[in-house]
Amino acid sequence: MRKGLCFRLRKILLCVVGLYVAIPFLIKLCPGIQAKLIFLNFVRVPYFIDLKKPQDQGLNHTCNYYLQPEEDVTLGVWHTVPAVWWKNAQGKDQMWYEDALASSHPIILYLHGNAGTRGGDHRVELYKVLSSLGYHVVTFDYRGWGDSVGTPSERGMTYDALHVFDWIKARSGDNPVYIWGHSLGTGVATNLVRRLCERETPPDALILESPFTNIREEAKSHPFSVIYRYFPGFDWFFLDPITSSGIQFANDENVKHISCSLLILHAEDDPVVPFQLGRKLYNIAAPSRSFRDFKVQFIPFHSDLGYRHKYIYKSPELPRILRFPPLVQGIPGEVGTRAPALSVTRHLKEHEDVCPCPPLPPASPAPWRCAWRENSDASGPGRGGPGRPEAPAPGGWEHRFLWTAWGAGMWPSLPLAATQPEVLLGRQ
């Protein structure tokens, strides 16, 4: 009996070793396997969601479009308007959403990473955060992802992003347009911005979340490669098939040719794209001559925060971070002001139109309160108190949002103001 058990164990061990040795040869002979493992576009998470209905994901101020960058390629696109418009956006058609891009709100083009779709949970939560901060958010699935039609490739993904960017610029007038890439999307983002800079139409800023230097270094550092990292001929078996498939995503080269402000966000406990790759990319970009007239900033997030690869949107510091110089040239009264957006006071002329406050969209948090106060020496309790003044004070009203809880990565919508806002620093 003992002999039979040893024989079976030996047989299993030989099978495991044989498979371990065979996989590198299989990948070398079929480089398309590596391309699929990098894109992971066949992994659609979450399952069973209808991308035509973003409202099912809590985005009730979002419109679904379809754009066609090439004859046989169709892209599924979501456009989320600033959360202050969520009520006006109900029931509106695509034309209304397109016209809204010309309003005085900055725009973020979000380029997601591999696997999943534009409806991924962490992606949706980031859209909500950015929308609540006063941004339009335009995102899409590259060809071959989600409900988009086409075959994935680095060239194709970059062209898709270029097409969507041009579509935005054709409708947004002089409004600032920022490009935000996450993970694999940082490779698309730097490809795109390099091309835009070469044709002298750069975006207002580039934001890279969890970026890598290039796809070879990322593949070698990825946790999936651990069991083969010290395999003889690792580069020849695993990395060369990637580049032979036309996949480079050379962020380290692209940043040397980018002439716009750059912000890099990276969590120290990122298990997918190692933190040191983001730091290395910053060290390459910062001294580059192409950035001599622009700011380059690296924001690390301590491992104790637990943001890992895709939860930086939870950071309560994000509004403050997003006021760094590329985003301070925006429209007065929005996130693009130099003052922090943690606690906001707005001087409103038409206070009757916004008080009592309109209900927040379902995506916004419950733990908040608003307080009205009279901006004069007139007596009487403010709107936040038990009573109400007989008439508005000559100086108008100030509308202050006070956060009674902090965290969860969401903030109340900010109402439009008729005048330049006064912004106060401080957490509640």
Residue 13 carries which side chain, given as an amino acid letter?
L
> Can you name the residues that pair with 296 across neighbouring β-strands?
262
How many other C-beta atoms can be found within 10 angstroms of the C-beta atom of residue 180? 25
CB 53 within 8 A of CB 43: no
Active site residue 309: yes
Q: Which of 160, 270, 290, 364 is catalytic?
A: 270
What is the Cα gyration radius of the chain?
25
Phi, psi of 418 (to 5 degrees): -85, -15
Whole-number Å distance between alpha carbons of 117 and 138: 14
Tell me how far CA of residue 336 lies from CA of 133, 134, 301, 317, 332, in angstroms: 10, 9, 22, 15, 7
Structural fold of domain 54-327: Rossmann fold (3.40.50)
Please tell me the predicted confidence (pLDDT) of residue 104: 85
Whole-number Å distance between alpha carbons of 169 and 204: 12
Give the residue among 224, 252, 270 at the shortest CA–CA distance from 36: 224
Whole-number Å distance between alpha carbons of 128 and 411: 9
User: How far is C-alpha 314 from the chain's CA centre?
Assistant: 12
> Can you name the residues that pair with 400 across neighbouring β-strands?
345, 371
DSSP-based helix, strand, coil % in the chain, nearest 5: 35, 20, 45
Residues 395, 397, 398, 402: is their CA dihedral positive or negative? positive
Q: Which of 172, 183, 210, 413 is catalytic?
A: 183
Residue 17 carries which side chain, given as an amino acid letter?
V
> Can you name the residues that pair with 422 across neighbouring β-strands?
345
* Residue environment code for 353-379, b if the CB has 16+ CB neighbours within 10 A, otherwise e: ebbebeebbebbbeebebebbbbeeee
CB 335 within 8 A of CB 328: no
Whole-number Å distance between alpha carbons of 27 and 242: 10
Paired tokens of 45 = 């998470």
Residues 164, 126, 204, 198: is their CA dihedral positive or negative? negative
Q: How many residues does the chain have?
A: 428
> Can you list the alpha helix ranges (DSSP code H) found in 199-351?
215-221, 234, 240-244, 251-254, 275-285, 318-321
Q: What is the pTM of this model?
A: 0.76
Please tell me the predicted confidence (pLDDT) of residue 319: 86
**pLDDT values of the chain reduced to their tens digit, one per residue, 428 residues:** 677 778 788 888 889 888 888 888 888 888 888 899 999 999 988 888 999 999 999 999 999 999 999 999 999 999 999 999 999 999 999 999 999 999 889 999 999 999 999 999 999 999 999 999 999 999 999 999 999 999 999 999 999 999 999 999 999 999 999 999 999 999 999 999 999 999 999 999 999 999 999 999 999 998 888 888 888 888 989 999 999 889 999 999 999 999 999 999 999 999 999 999 999 999 999 999 888 889 999 999 999 999 999 999 999 999 889 875 555 443 323 323 333 332 222 322 333 333 344 444 444 433 333 333 333 333 333 333 333 333 333 333 333 333 322 223 333 333 332 222 222 222 22
Active site residue 270: yes
Which secondary-structure segment (H or E) carries 397?
strand 397-403
Per domain, the residue ranges of the chain are: 54-327, 342-428
Residue 257 carries which side chain, given as an amino acid letter?
H
Q: Which of 105, 309, 351, 399 is catalytic?
A: 309
